[in-house]
Structure 1
Amino acid sequence: MSLETMRPNPTWDAASYADTVDTLAAHRDELTFIVWGGDWCKDCRALLPDFGAALEAAEVPDDRIEAIAVDQDKRGPRVDEYGIEYIPTIVVERAPDGADGDAGEELVRFVESEDVPPAVWLARELEAELEAETA
């Protein structure tokens, strides 16, 4: 089952979100984005196309993005493992070091709605988290 709502919004203006794109691009090779959503979900349809466009503008490799479709009962792959209750949920992990298939370290999590779009919120939280690590 694919997640069509992750298809990038062609009218999204990356220049208007330059800081967000820069942050995502700066970490594109070290982070993994796991997205749970449903094409039937109005919040997903409203939020995820712009998020997909932000990832595309930041040139995040496809192998760093895992889009997981859930059904209307919010059942789907890894839902229990990650404690997914609301969608869209986006978990950003530091990519695992080895090739053993283990999940990486969770850095930030966007759940359903915030006061700003998911890409902006995640970039802001990632900056704070990664800056705190280097301080």
Structure 2
Amino acid sequence: MQIAYAHFTVNHMVHYQTRLDTTFAALSDVTRRGVLEQLGDSDASVTDLAQRFRMTLTGMKKHVSVLEQAGLVTTEKVGRVRTCKLGPRRLEEEAAWIERHHQLWSARFDALDELVEHLKRREKTDVPRKRR
């Protein structure tokens, strides 16, 4: 029973890490982030997106494909027009991951600030007083 649970946990963790990697890779490109912002305002065809971002249709299709694989965009083809819209992913796992690391680093910087202040106070009290 424990082996099955451990296997599930490892598989879940690998799947979670793969999903994070795919999402962050998709978000690492300025054009793809721009596409997401654009689709936040309204759905758009791949052709419209290519024109707005001044790129080839092939280039935009590649960007849309990366976003689609990450679940950030969905596409639907009607006739010759492929329309893009925001996907079902809401980035909750990614936001939670960022928040955990933000808290970790904040705690480390707070501890560093405390240490620096402690050393400053100690330095002031350790300096021998000059005689007049």
TM-score normalised by the chain length of structure 1: 0.24
Larger relative CO (CA 8 A, sep 6+): 1 or 2?
1
Structure showing the higher strand proportion among its residues = 1
